[in-house]
């Protein structure tokens, strides 16, 4: 990026960050997630570091987040309110440690670690032990007087045991279960569905209707004794203990860390367990433990030098679409993929994200050069979930699917289907994709035989079908480059070891349209043998939990095709299928019910949710059809939710799903 482009981008980002800052901190009606906001601000900060001469003196990176709503009287803070500088990875937090040691003039430092609660900051003032004022952070100097609403929160003491004068700071938060209860009530009366607990808490505190505030079970954690008419403790750790003794609710998970390695270990632990609590956690607040050193280190223009907010890896970030490519699947589906400016998401570098299909591209209106929000959850392929149109290049044009692709030929979208598909099933690209999958871990799992080796074998006319793999000879393989005697012997031994295969793996490997591992398992457990499956009628298949009418039709069509019949017959001449011992008819409470999972779940991973469903005799499918019983919608559910609603599939929130499992 040259200087002219950088200047233009910086001005655009300044305007956009200020816009979303106001929506988030003042109006409590965010249009993007906290993580996406952080990502935009971080991009601006990095550009300012690279081009300091272009940085604006009024940049949002130099100000405390917040603002004052016109609906409440103003309160001038006795103690200035600061924001923490962020650390996003180990490198950042080690740089913080190095910087603090240099400024403090000592390497002998201990830290306190506290969970960073994703809530709403509050400043409480007590006179003679009685709560007299509760104020929002506002712009750091002036906040809003929300005392009447804060008094409804049961965990905040209205009177202390001792008649002391003090100011404390803390976080107001809303539990996940209470958040979901509020949203259920909102849905029942046709009201606004809230985006997340943090903004619901903020919006509740700013309600003018105190009776409504009292019905919502807000909670608090106090973490800082900012001012008092007595001598403050010598360490941050002792201060937190004192706050507990004074009667405030303090998050119990704070610890003393002997060095930065212990800080990182604590951060790693909570990164794995952040969903274990009812409140949202988005990182760890790290502070120099020694209070005298805190005073010595002091503050910058907006933040304390002695503290850092060590954020968890973001599952949502912003980046730029540098291209849109089309990817061929083993069953002929053409999936659009956003080629991205590489970015860190959930601890890994991501350069590609799925756009799913033509409808999703149109819904999002994704264009080349767009700044987008991408989301990654666990091992799931990242999704593009939002376009930030304010940063769109002027000449960006809508994307249209081509009618054909090099090496694939003509593509089409059939009525009633979301995906485009390759018309010719026998191109090199199409056959190679099926063979890649056949030898992969989900199917026959043949060690030493990956995509590169498959393509070499195809190019040399040694394989064209699944059965051909089992007919390979040592003499044939030794004629190929990079195939030495030892490696050939190992490969042939690996192939021979897969001549006996489970029924599930066999079905999965055939690349039957819309039949993946889960559906293959449902079919195998129902029929036990291939012969019984081949003689089944479509209506019999449709009644199987997890299959349904659409997939049943695909299975019938696949095995009715003469080319497929020959492929399967040839393969059966080379391999033996282990029969499945049929289980007793499922008796779990979810027997006969089929679930679709979409979006991000807070309390379970996708794999854990599937396991819970299957343990109760339910089935899980990845395709949306009217035969599904429920769609479980987590955060940012995407196009599956829309499709399920159109088909009349019942939608479950995560809370309703968890209740169903009990």
Annotated binding-site residue? 311: yes
Annotated binding-site residue? 185: no
Q: How far apart are CA 531 and CA 49, in angstroms?
A: 68
CB of 277 closer than 8 Å to CB of 174 = no
Helix (H/G/I), strand (E/B), else coil: 127: strand
- Give the tokens for residue 416: 């009633």
What are the start-end ranges of the E strands in 329-462?
A: 333-345, 348-354, 371-375, 383-388, 404-405, 409-412, 420-422
Q: Which of 15, 116, 566, 662 is catalytic?
A: 116
Instruction: Determine whether the annotation assigns residue 612 to a binding site.
Output: no
State in Å, rounded, how far the first CA of the chain is from the last one: 54
Round to whole Å and give the CA distance between 97 and 263: 10
Contact 208, 71 (CB under 8 A): yes
Cα–Cα dist 221/121, whole Å: 10
Asked whether residue 36 is marked as a ligand-binding residue, the answer is: yes
CB 616, CB 594: distance < 8 Å: no
Q: 120 to each of 14, 301, 370, 538, how far by Cα in Å?
A: 24, 22, 32, 56
**Are the CB atoms for 149 and 210 separated by under 8 Å?**
yes
How far apart are alpha carbons 255 and 245 in whole angstroms? 17
Other CB atoms within 10 A of residue 366 CB: 22
The label of the residue with tokens 């095709």 reads 561
Say if residue 37 carries a ligand binding annotation: yes
Judge whether 376 counts as a catalytic residue. no
Residue 34 assigned to a binding site: yes
Which pair of tokens denotes residue 119?
Answer: 């809530």
In whole angstroms, how far apart are CA 234 and each of 84, 124, 231, 238?
21, 22, 9, 7
389 is in an annotated binding site: no
- Taking Cα atoms as reference points, which of 424, 502, 428, 434 lies closest to residue 469? 434
Residue environment code for 94-120, b if the CB has 16+ CB neighbours within 10 A, otherwise e: eebbeebeeebeeeebbbbbbbbbbbb
287 labeled binding residue: yes
Q: What is the DSSP pairing of strand 218-228 with strand 111-117?
A: unpaired
Q: Is 178:216 a contact under the CB 8 Å cutoff?
A: yes
What is the token pair recorded at 65?
A: 């987040």
Place of tokens 């901190």: 25
Please state the length of the chain: 662
Residues 106 and 97: their CA atoms lie apart, in Å, by: 11
Helix H or strand E encompassing 500:
strand 500-502
Q: Is the dihedral of CA 346, 351, 355, 357 positive or negative?
A: negative
Q: Show binding-site residues for NAD(+).
A: 34-38, 83-84, 114, 137, 171, 287, 311
Q: Show binding-site residues.
A: 34-38, 83-84, 114, 137, 171, 287, 311
Catalytic positions:
116
């Amino acid at each position: 990026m040259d200087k002219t482009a950088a200047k233009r981008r910086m001005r655009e980002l300044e305007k956009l960050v200020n816009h979303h800052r106001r929506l988030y901190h003042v109006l409590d009606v965010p249009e993007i997630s906290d993580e996406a906001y952080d990502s935009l601000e971080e991009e601006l900060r990095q550009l300012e570091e690279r081009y300091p001469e272009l940085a604006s003196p009024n940049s949002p990176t130099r100000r405390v987040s917040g603002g004052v709503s016109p609906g409440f009287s103003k309160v001038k803070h006795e103690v200035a309110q600061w924001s923490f500088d962020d650390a996003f990875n180990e490198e950042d937090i080690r740089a913080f440690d190095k910087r603090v040691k240099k400024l403090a003039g000592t390497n002998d430092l201990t830290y306190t670690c506290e969970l960073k609660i994703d809530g709403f900051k509050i400043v409480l003032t007590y006179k003679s032990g009685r709560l007299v004022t509760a104020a929002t952070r506002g712009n750091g100097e002036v906040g809003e007087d929300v005392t009447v609403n804060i008094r409804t929160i049961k965990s905040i003491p209205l009177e202390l045991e001792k008649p002391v004068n003090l100011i404390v700071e803390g976080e107001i938060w809303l539990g996940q279960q209470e958040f979901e209860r509020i949203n259920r009530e909102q849905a029942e009366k046709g009201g606004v569905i809230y985006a997340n607990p943090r903004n619901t808490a903020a919006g509740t505190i700013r309600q003018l209707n105190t009776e409504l505030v009292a019905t919502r079970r807000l909670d608090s954690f106090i973490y800082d004794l900012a001012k008092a008419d007595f001598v403050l403790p010598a360490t941050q750790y002792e201060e937190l203990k004192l706050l507990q003794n004074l009667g405030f609710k303090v998050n119990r998970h704070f610890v003393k860390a002997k060095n930065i390695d212990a800080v990182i270990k604590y951060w790693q632990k909570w990164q794995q367990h952040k969903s274990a609590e009812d409140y949202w956690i988005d990182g760890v607040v790290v502070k120099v433990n020694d209070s005298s050193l805190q005073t010595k280190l002091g503050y910058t223009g907006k933040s304390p030098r002695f503290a850092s907010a060590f954020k968890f890896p973001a599952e949502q970030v912003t980046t730029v679409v540098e291209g849109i490519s089309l990817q061929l699947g083993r069953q002929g589906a053409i999936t659009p993929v956003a080629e991205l400016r590489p970015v860190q998401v959930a601890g890994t570098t991501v350069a590609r994200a799925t756009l799913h299909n033509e409808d999703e591209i149109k819904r999002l209106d994704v264009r080349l050069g767009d700044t987008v929000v991408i989301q990654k959850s666990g091992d799931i392929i990242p999704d593009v979930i939002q376009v930030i149109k304010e940063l769109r290049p002027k000449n960006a044009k809508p994307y249209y699917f081509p009618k054909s692709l090099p090496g694939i030929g003509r593509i089409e979208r059939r009525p009633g289907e979301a995906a485009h598909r390759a018309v010719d099933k026998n191109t090199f690209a199409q056959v190679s994709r099926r063979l890649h999958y056949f030898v992969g871990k989900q199917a026959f799992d043949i060690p030493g035989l990956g995509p590169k080796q498959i393509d070499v074998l195809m190019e040399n006319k040694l394989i064209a079908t699944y059965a051909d793999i089992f007919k390979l000879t040592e003499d044939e393989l030794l004629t190929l480059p990079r195939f030495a005697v030892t490696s050939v012997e190992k490969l042939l031994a690996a192939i021979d070891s897969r001549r006996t295969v489970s029924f599930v793996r066999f079905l999965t490997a055939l690349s039957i349209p819309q039949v993946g591992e889960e559906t293959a398992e449902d079919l195998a457990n129902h029929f036990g043998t291939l012969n019984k499956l081949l003689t089944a009628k479509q209506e019999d298949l449709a009644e199987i939990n997890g299959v349904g009418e659409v997939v049943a039709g695909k299975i019938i069509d696949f095995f009715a095709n003469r080319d497929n019949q020959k492929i399967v017959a040839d393969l059966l001449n080379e391999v033996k299928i282990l029969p499945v011992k049929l289980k007793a008819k499922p008796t779990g409470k979810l027997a006969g019910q089929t679930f679709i999972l979409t979006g991000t779940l807070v309390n379970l991973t996708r794999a854990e949710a599937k396991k819970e469903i299957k343990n109760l005799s339910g089935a899980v499918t990845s395709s949306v059809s009217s035969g599904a019983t429920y769609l479980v919608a987590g955060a940012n559910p995407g196009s599956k939710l829309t499709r399920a609603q159109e088909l009349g599939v019942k939608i479950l929130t995560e809370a309703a799903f968890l209740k169903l499992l009990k």
